[in-house]
């Protein structure tokens, strides 16, 4: 029995099965865009720990900032005896958040917690209860975040009842025949059939759906949402947890739409691998809840704040927004080349270095191939690439290479992925011929 197999056996016995596991690969060490398992095998990391490592594994600057902080203190609780790094980070995020309105910040620990807090703040500000989210969206695993998430299996099945007054509208996905107008019409129908806009506290949306399949919300849709929210006094919440911190070629994906969110959620790549999340928003909205209504024991951990300040420096110094665009262009041109030979690739799409391929049967958008997607994740890992799947239909491969990865590593990883897909689809073609 290999060391990975032995650990997998122990894992299966020790953990509840609800805690998913993509690959039976146990990590020993990691640097930048590579990791090595307990058997000494090397992997190219195209998952970045689910979009957490835009600055790569253990960026030297992040590592040094954390080491320095560990020499000083590790925890005091921001709500008890605060520290300058947290204040400095909040000031920086307030400046980075798009739009002219003065901003304020709160820190929490996880993305789901940030989402929960946006709804608390929006309700406190508006005195209203309703919340609208989008089908296929993912906002986390706590109760309100689950309610907002627009995918039943595996995230909601068996866990209800959920907080009431949450409604879903369809996310505009041209590839699946849902236009911007269809989504806007559906919102009007919601206002007609389910809840009047004057009772809606917030609309929450990911500018690019993460877990849902890397579908990009068209700028005109986000602009229309901004207008709708202004018209009805609804708080517009932009969930940038997966899209933030240079991933899409801008600091935040919402910048492509040129609108100012009321509230934004941030987490994942904010602190380069340390648990930190934030809500950043218009100051007068953020100040709605009373003192003590927001916070958490580990919210704004000094270690994570030190890491986040270093992450922001690295993004600027290494021009990671530009680099995201370069990586996106390189990946898309390679994958579009592969698409010409491999009809299983139904669509290649990207916003900067948030790149995805959607795998289908018979070149048909309406025949998702979730089995091939699973097989590709497995085969790519056997060849030494960590890949993540996602998608409403489980048939999307998302590429989330660290933005610090070299062209050589990106090319090498993509080559292995395309080889894997070629092998798997050749087998499928042969099986179909034999049948
Ligand atoms: C868009 C989005 N929102 C919220 C979350 C939840 O974040 P966390 O897993 O840190 O609670 C995620 C996590 O994948 C996400 O991608």
DSSP of 235-298: EEEEE-TTTTTTTTSSSSGGGGGT---SEEEE-GGGGTTS--EEEEEEHHHHT-SPTTSS--TT
- For residue 115, whether the previous peptide bond is cis, meaning omega lies within 30 degrees of 0, is no
Q: Say if ligand 1 is within 6 A of residue 150 CB.
A: no
pTM, whole model, 2 decimals?
0.97
Residue 427: the pLDDT is 67
**Structure tokens of 259?**
């609108």
Phi, psi of 31 (to 5 degrees): -145, 130
pLDDT value for 373? 98
Q: Whose CA is nearest to atom 13 of ligand 1?
A: 140
Q: Which of 210, 264, 271 to mutate to test the pocket of ligand 1 (most atoms within 8 A of CB)?
A: 210
* Whole-angstrom distance, CA of residue 195 vs CA of residue 191: 5
- For residue 262 the two structure tokens come to 């009321």
Do strands 103-108 and 277-282 pair parallel, antiparallel, or not at all (unpaired)? antiparallel
Q: What angle do CA 38, 41, 45 make, to 5 degrees?
A: 100
Instruction: From residue 405, give the alpha-carbon distance in Å to each of 32, 160, 401, 429.
Output: 7, 42, 7, 34
Q: From atom 3 of ligand 1, which residue's Cα is the shortest distance away?
A: 139
Looking at residue 426, its pLDDT comes to 87
Between the CA of 241 and the centroid of ligand 1 the distance, in Å, is 6
211 Cβ closer than 6 Å to some ligand 1 atom: yes
Ligand 1 pocket member 139 (CB < 6 A)? yes
Residue with CA at minimum distance from ligand 1 atom 7: 111
What's residue 433's pLDDT? 56
Helix, coil or strand: residue 156? coil
The contacts of residue 79 (CB under 8 Å, 6+ apart) are 295, 299
Tokens of 181: 């107008």
Residues of the chain with pLDDT under 50: none
50 in ligand 1 pocket by Cβ < 6 Å?
yes
Atom of ligand 1 nearest to the CA of 211: 16
In sequence order, the β-bridge partners of residue 205 are 238
Cβ contact 112:141 at 8 Å: yes
Could you give the residue ranges of the DSSP H alpha helices within 384-435?
A: 407-434
pLDDT, tens only, 41-62: 999 999 999 999 999 999 999 9
140 lines ligand 1 (CB under 6 A): yes
Tokens of 206: 């990911």
Q: Which of 132, 169, 125, 128 is nearest to 147 (CA)?
A: 132
Cβ atoms of residues 29 and 36 within 8 Å: yes
User: Residue 58's pLDDT is what?
Assistant: 98
The H-or-E segment that residue 17 falls in is none
Residues 6+ apart with CB under 8 A from 286: 103, 104, 105, 106, 121, 263, 279, 280
For 161, residues 6+ apart whose C-beta sits below 8 A from its C-beta are none
CB of 142 within 6 A of ligand 1: the answer is no
Q: What's the gap in Å between 172 CA and the centre of ligand 1?
A: 20
Best of 138, 354, 396 for a ligand 1 pocket test (most atoms within 8 Å of beta carbon): 138
Q: How far is CA 205 from the centre of its chain?
A: 12
Residue showing tokens 């951990």: 301
Instruction: Name the strand (E) or helix (H) holding 95.
Output: helix 84-96
CA of 139 to the centre of ligand 1 (A): 5
By CB neighbour count within 10 A (0-12 exposed, 13-18 middle, 19+ buried), where does 226 fall? buried
């Amino acid at each position: 029995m290999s060391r990975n197999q032995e650990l997998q056996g122990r894992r299966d016995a020790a953990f509840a099965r609800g805690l998913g596991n993509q690959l039976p690969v146990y990590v020993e060490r990691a640097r930048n865009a590579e990791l090595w398992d307990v058997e000494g095998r090397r992997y190219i990391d195209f998952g970045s720990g689910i979009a957490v490592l835009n600055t790569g594994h253990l960026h030297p600057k992040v590592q040094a900032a954390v080491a320095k902080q560990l020499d000083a203190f590790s925890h005091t609780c921001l709500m008890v005896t605060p520290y300058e790094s947290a204040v400095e980070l909040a000031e920086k995020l307030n400046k980075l958040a798009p739009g002219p309105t003065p901003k304020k910040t709160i820190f929490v620990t996880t993305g789901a917690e940030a989402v929960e807090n946006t709804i608390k703040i929006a309700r406190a500000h508006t005195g209203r209860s309703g919340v609208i989210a989008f089908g296929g969206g993912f906002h986390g695993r706590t109760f309100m975040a689950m309610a907002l998430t627009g995918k039943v299996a595996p995230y909601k099945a068996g866990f209800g009842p959920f907080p009431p007054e949450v409604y879903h509208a369809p996310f505009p996905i041209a590839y699946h025949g849902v236009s911007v107008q269809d989504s806007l019409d559906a919102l009007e129908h919601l206002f007609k059939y389910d809840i009047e806009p004057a009772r809606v506290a917030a609309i929450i949306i990911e500018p690019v759906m993460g877990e849902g399949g890397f579908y990009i919300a068209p700028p005109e849709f986000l602009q229309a949402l901004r207008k709708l929210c202004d018209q009805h006094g609804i708080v517009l919440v932009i969930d940038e947890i997966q899209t933030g911190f240079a991933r899409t070629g801008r600091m935040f994906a919402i910048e492509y739409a040129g609108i100012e969110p009321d509230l934004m959620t941030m987490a994942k790549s904010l602190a380069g691998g340390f648990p930190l999340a934030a809500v950043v928003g218009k100051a007068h909205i953020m100040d709605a809840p009373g003192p003590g209504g927001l916070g958490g024991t580990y919210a704004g951990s000094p270690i994570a704040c030190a890491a986040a300040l270093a992450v922001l420096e690295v993004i600027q110094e290494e021009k990671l927004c530009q680099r995201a665009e370069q990586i996106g262009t390189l990946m898309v041109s390679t994958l579009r080349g592969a698409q010409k030979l491999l009809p299983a690739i139904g669509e290649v799409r990207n916003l900067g270095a948030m790149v995805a391929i959607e795998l289908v049967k018979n070149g048909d958008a309406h025949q998702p191939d979730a089995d091939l997607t699973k097989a590709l994740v497995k085969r790519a890992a056997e060849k030494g690439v960590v890949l993540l799947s996602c998608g409403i239909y489980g048939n999307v491969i998302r590429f989330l290479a660290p933005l610090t990865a070299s062209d050589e590593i990106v090319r090498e990883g993509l080559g292995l992925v395309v080889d894997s897909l070629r092998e798997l689809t050749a087998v499928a073609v042969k099986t179909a011929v034999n049948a």
